[in-house]
Chain A
Amino acid sequence: MKALLSSLKALTQFPSAIVGLGVVFGMVVFAAYAMITIPYSEAIRLWRGGDQVWGDTPRNAPPAWFNLFPGNNLPTTIRVDSRDDPSLKTRQNVGEELTAVDMRLPFEFRFDGFPKELNVTFASQFDARLPNVQMTWVTPDGREIRLGDLTLRATETFRISQESRLERRLGGRPPEVGLFANPDDPDRALKGIYELRVEGLVFEEDADIEAKLVVYGQVHGLAGTDHRRRDLMVALLWGAPIALAFGLLAAVGTTITTMIIAAVGVWFGGFVDAAIQRVTEVNLILPLLPILIMVGTFYSRSIWVILGVIIVLGIFSANIKTYRAIFLQVKQTPYIEAARAYGAGHGRIVFRYMIPRVVPVLVPSFVTLIPTYVFLEATLAVLGLGDPILPTWGKVINDALTQGALFRGQYYWVLEPALLLMVIGFGFALVGFALDRVFNPRLREL
């Protein structure tokens, strides 16, 4: 414990270490925040996505803070739901078994850019006879544009942006542009209060219609959205604890087992030592990534299986030679001889005397190993072999690359997870570097 505190103090003399520690600490806080605000099962549900979860978010939208740049006044998503405000709906009995259900869905539009998409979703309750609606669009300057008629099922989504007849009526411009265009200045949107008027007819006493208008924005949220309308913040937040946990577990698993095996090999010497050396040489040539790719394709892409394989293949790594050199030195010391003389068992000597001597070399290499494994997991995810249900940074990059984000100028999609990966990697690498210089005084002079 004392050694730990004194080494921490020694660490603070390096400015790079302070930066690194700050970054690592920040990452841990970030990960903790992620796990607290979005519980695990919720994160999985959100990441699975689907219309129920993400129906109201725009597709491939950059983050909302793009609007902070001068000249940008891109719309954010506007939702008007008749369920939120019952005063928007009026019912009127117009005949036997015939009821008119009228809804007005107003909203204010003060942006410069046009919305990305326009959808109206209806939810109706009825027994047998399908309701009927007529939709009219009212612009701030009083123009009324008929959008169309629709016969409703239990749920129905009218995708205004995809109506080709409407597009033709609007002069060839896509509906989300044509319905908002200023007639005097067609390239800009008309600002003011718009209204969607829904005139519905139901043919039963207790039948009802609810309507929801979604005017999809061009920007969304802190991190933007992906091709499945998922808010990227979920993946960016939850990528942190997953990356940290994976890196730590893999680093701990490999380092401890490598150290124990090196110690055992040196202590028992002879055949055991030679065998371990041969196995290490074989393992050095076994290509790690291709084997991981094969396991991922043929066996299972679960993150636990991949973690297990990485640890198993990482046990006999090149670090064994470093530890072995140190253990060899330790073995010659007089106090080991004394321990054998008084009858200490093999286990005691290995664990109590030899292993503590290697800790100064172990700690920096352990810390530097963490980002290696974080990037290894990201590599597998970028190749498409990541865990299919977990939201990881590598998966976001994989989605971005397969959807051609770089070709389409959706740079935020690639940059956000890449920057986070970089930050976590450099944080740990800086700390590891400084630790190396703390524990190896020869390097400190240099």
Chain B
Amino acid sequence: MADAPIARASEQLSPEGRRDRSSGQGSFARVARYTISRTIALFITIVIGVYATILIANMGGYVDEIRSAQIEEGVAIGVSQNPEYRSLTSAQRQELVAGMVEVERQRLGLDRPFVVRSFTYLTNALTLDLGRSEYISSDRGSRQVRLVILERLAPTLILFASANLILFFVAIFVGLFLSRRYGSWLDRFVIALAPTSAAPSWFFGVFLILIFAALLGVLPFGGMVATPPPPERLDYALSVLKHLILPVSAIIIGAVFITIYSWRTFFLIYSSEDYVEMAKAKGLPSNTIERRYVLRPTLPTIITSFALLVIQLWTGGIVLETVFNWPGLGRLLFQAINLFDTPIIVASVVIFAYLLAVTVFLLDIVYALVDPRVKVDSGGAV
């Protein structure tokens, strides 16, 4: 009987105030059900997102007309300037042009109607059968989209994983630190800097390049590795690290202050809860209080906000990679768009969507593991 008031007290923390009757099922079953439902939801999301991408990338078929016209023009000009064909009559040349145009259109698949092709694109994209690109090739000369993207995937992951990891841990530790000393000058300094996160990461990137590469000359202007790349593996890794400094700093500066500020606020709100007072009254060491009574309950909220932050950072990465000439997915997408290379565009956006979905998914699993109140319906999730 003595634990009933405590049980009811902890129930009141649940946002909808409902009691979790299924807690008897055990952690594993709960997480498993949650996982499956989130997977299905995310998958539908991806399908819709990818199809929307395909539609947009082709403007409902208008781009095909542009490309047909480009092909005809290109072939006609090529034939008229080619000295081999000088001897042909005008009618023969026209026939030749028509034949070459038809071959090129078949190569690009423009002879089938767009709607049919869009579904082929969709199934291919979802199964990651990404086909061959039209213009862009990988560094080793392959035109297989899969290889082109795989080549660019690793740099992007290196950049974003390192930046996000550093950001996460710095924000948690500094946030906890500041929540213990709110009102101090350090606290107010960080709060004053929080509005700087209104600017996207590439903005800080430009300033960092200006200061460290242009004015001081200590760090490289861009790229992932020095040219020519050092042959020794250790030197290569060190060169990559040196080139990582500025982009990672740009990402971190662009997000760290607001993250520290909002997490420190969360910590403060949660540390004013009654059970923390009770833990202090019980005489628990402050480290334990922080870890078990403040950090643990805050973790779901923090993970949610981190998920949203990561989503923003992902899409902002395109410009960052372009500014720093970083050989990643973002820059690939931008190059592909400039070249009208539809398979690469669709594939890049699909991979982006998958990466986003995987990130959200992982964070959701962590969320489910961390928050015992999570239920399978729409209430508890991101």
Binding site for B on A (CB under 8 A): 16, 20, 274, 277-278, 281-282, 284-291, 293-295, 297-299, 318, 325, 368, 371-372, 375, 378-379, 382-383, 397, 401, 406-407, 409, 411, 414-415, 418, 421-422, 425-426, 428-430, 432-433, 442-443, 446
Nearest B residue to A400 via CB reads B206
In the complex, residue of chain B having the shortest beta-carbon distance to the beta carbon of A428:
B198
Contact across chains for B195 and A430 when beta carbons are under 8 A apart: yes
The answer on a CB contact under 8 Å between B49 and A286 is yes
List, in ascending order, chain A residues with CB within 8 A of B360's CB.
284-285
Instruction: State whether the Cβ of B114 lies closer than 8 Å to any Cβ in chain A.
Output: no
Which residues on the B side are within 8 Å of A325 (C-beta)? 15
The residues of B that contact A433 with a CB separation of less than 8 Å are: 194-195
Check if B345 sits within 8 Å of A294, measured CB to CB. Answer: yes
Task: Contacts A286-B353, A382-B202 given; indicate if A406 touches B348 (C-beta within 8 A).
Answer: no
Write out the residue numbers on chain B whose beta carbons fall within 8 Å of the beta carbon of A318. 308
Known contacts: A281-B45, A294-B53. The answer to whether A446 contacts B265 by CB under 8 A is: yes
Query: Are A287 and B57 within 8 A (Cβ)?
Result: no
Q: A287-B353, A411-B210 are in contact. Are A426 and B195 (CB under 8 A)?
A: yes
Min CB–CB distance B22 → chain A (angstroms): 20
Q: Would A298 and B56 count as touching, CB distance under 8 A?
A: yes
Whether the pair B206, A414 counts as a contact (CB closer than 8 A) is yes
Which of these, B46, B203, B214, contacts A407 with CB under 8 Å? B214
Contacts A298-B63, A407-B214, A429-B198; A285 near B318 (Cβ below 8 A): no
The stretch from B98-106, B150-158, B331-339 touching chain A is B331-339
Query: Which residues of B298-317 have CB atoms within 8 Å of chain A's CB atoms?
Result: 308, 311, 314-316
Contact B56 A294 (CB under 8 A): yes
**Chain B contacts to A: CB under 8 angstroms:** 15, 41-42, 44-46, 48-49, 52-53, 56-59, 62-63, 182, 192, 194-200, 202-203, 206-207, 209-210, 213-214, 221, 265, 268-269, 308, 311, 314-316, 318-319, 322-323, 333-334, 337-338, 340, 345, 348-349, 352-353, 356-357, 360, 378, 382
Q: How far is the CA of A429 from the CA of B203 in the complex (A)?
A: 16
Whose C-beta in chain A lies nearest to the C-beta of B308?
A318
A418/B206 contact (C-beta < 8 A), A282-B44, A282-B48, A285-B42 known: yes
Contacts of A282 in B (CB 8 A): 44-45, 48-49
Q: Enumerate 14 A-B pairs (CB-CB under 8 Å) in ascending A order.
A: A20-B195, A274-B378, A284-B45, A284-B382, A285-B353, A285-B357, A289-B316, A289-B319, A298-B56, A298-B57, A372-B198, A383-B319, A409-B214, A426-B198
Q: Which residue on A lies nearest to B195, using beta carbons?
A: A429
User: Which label, helix, strand, loop or mixed, suits the secondary structure of the B interface?
Assistant: helix
- Is A383 in contact with B356, judged by CB distance below 8 angstroms? no
In contact, A289 and B315 (Cβ under 8 angstroms): yes
Q: Which residues of B contact A371 (CB under 8 A)?
A: 198-199
Q: For residue B346, which residue of chain A has the nearest CB?
A: A294
Q: Measured between C-beta atoms, what is the minimum distance from B27 to chain A in Å? A: 25
The answer to whether A290 and B221 touch across the interface, beta carbons within 8 angstroms, is no
How far does the alpha carbon of A407 sit from the alpha carbon of B220 in the complex, in Å?
Answer: 12
Question: Which residues on the A side are within 8 Å of B333 (C-beta)?
Answer: 290, 293
Residues of A within 8 A of B195 (CB): 16, 20, 425-426, 429-430, 432-433
B207 cross-chain contacts in A, Cβ below 8 A: 418
Q: A288-B315, A383-B334 are in contact. List 8 more A-B contacts (CB 8 A).
A: A286-B353, A287-B352, A293-B318, A293-B334, A297-B340, A421-B199, A426-B195, A426-B196
Q: CA A20 – CA B192 in complex, angstroms?
A: 11
Q: Determine how close the nearest CB of chain A comes to the CB of B367; give it in whole angstroms.
A: 14
Q: Is the CB of B63 within 8 A of A287?
A: no
Q: How far is the CB of B321 from chain A (nearest CB, A)?
A: 11
B182:A446 contact, CB within 8 angstroms: yes
Name B356's contact: one of A274, A287, A291, A407 (CB within 8 Å): A287
Cβ-defined partner of B315 (8 Å) among A287, A409, A411? A287
The one of A291, A378, A430 in contact with B53, judged by C-beta atoms closer than 8 angstroms, is A291
Contacts of A284 in B (CB 8 A): 45, 311, 360, 382
* Distance A291 CA – B206 CA, assembled complex (angstroms): 24
Q: How far is the CB of A300 from chain B (nearest CB, A)?
A: 10
What residues of A have a CB within 8 angstroms of the CB of B382 in the complex?
281, 284
Complex-state Cα separation, A278 to B43, whole angstroms: 12
The residues of B that contact A281 with a CB separation of less than 8 Å are 41, 45, 382
When C-beta atoms are compared, the residue in chain A nearest to B354 turns out to be A285
Contacts A294-B56, A433-B194 given; indicate if A277 touches B334 (C-beta within 8 A): no
A443-B265 contact in complex given A282-B44, A287-B353, A382-B319, C-beta closer than 8 Å: yes
Contact (Cβ within 8 A) A379 B200: yes
| Partner among B49, B194, B214, B322 whose Cβ is within 8 Å of the Cβ of A411 | B214
Question: Bound complex: CA of A205 vs CA of B195, how far in Å?
Answer: 72
- Establish whether residues B57 and A414, one from each chain, have CB atoms under 8 Å apart when the complex forms: no
Contact A16 B57 (CB under 8 A): no
Q: Which residues of B contact A277 (CB under 8 A)?
A: 378
Whether B45 and A422, one on each chain, are in contact in the complex, defined by CB atoms closer than 8 angstroms, is no
> Once the chains are docked, how many angstroms separate the CA of A437 from the CA of B56?
41
- Complex Cα–Cα for A141 and B213 (A): 46
CA distance A371 to B46 in the complex (A): 29
**What separation, in Å, do the CA atoms of A435 and B314 have in the docked complex?**
29
Q: Report the 7 A-B pairs with minimum CB-CB distance, sorted nearest first.
A: A429-B195, A371-B198, A429-B198, A425-B198, A289-B315, A282-B45, A297-B337
Best-buried of A281, A287, A406 by chain B (most CB within 10 Å): A287
Asked if A299 contacts B59 (CB within 8 A), the reply is yes
Smallest beta-carbon distance A365→chain B, Å: 13
Q: Could you tell me the distance in whole angstroms from the C-beta of A74 to the nearest C-beta in chain B?
A: 21
A290 touches B338 (CB 8 A): no
Taking CB atoms, residues of chain B closer than 8 Å to A285 are 42, 45-46, 49, 311, 353, 356-357, 360
Q: Is A383's CB under 8 angstroms from B322's CB? A: yes
A375 to B199, Cβ gap below 8 A? Answer: yes
Residues of B within 8 A of A378 (CB): 203
Q: CA–CA, A421 to B206, complex, Å?
A: 13
The complex places the Cα of A56 from the Cα of B15 at a distance, in Å, of 68
Q: Which residues from A are CB-within-8-Å of B334?
A: 293, 383
Distance (Å) between the CB of B369 and the closest chain A CB? Answer: 20
Q: What are the residues of chain A within 8 A of B338 when measuring CB–CB? A: 297
Contacts of A411 in B (CB 8 A): 210, 214
Query: Cβ of B349: which chain A residues have Cβ within 8 Å of it?
Result: 287, 290-291, 294
Name the residue on A nearest B66 (C-beta): A298
- A415–B345 alpha-carbon span in the complex (Å): 33
Neighbouring B residues of A432 by C-beta, 8 Å: 195
Q: Please determine whether B348 and A290 come into contact, CB atoms closer than 8 angstroms.
A: yes
Q: Which of A294, A375, A415, A422 contacts B210 (CB 8 A)?
A: A415
Bound Cα distance from A297 to B48, whole angstroms: 21
**Which residues of chain B have C-beta atoms less than 8 A from A429's C-beta?**
194-198
A20 CA to B308 CA, complexed, in Å: 26
Give min CB distance, B320 to chain A, whole Å.
10
CB closest residue in chain A, given B197:
A429
> Quick check: A425 and B199 within 8 Å, CB to CB?
yes
Identify the closest chain A residue to B46 (Cβ): A285
Q: How far is the CB of B174 from chain A (nearest CB, A)?
A: 16
Contacts of B202 in A (CB 8 A): 379, 382
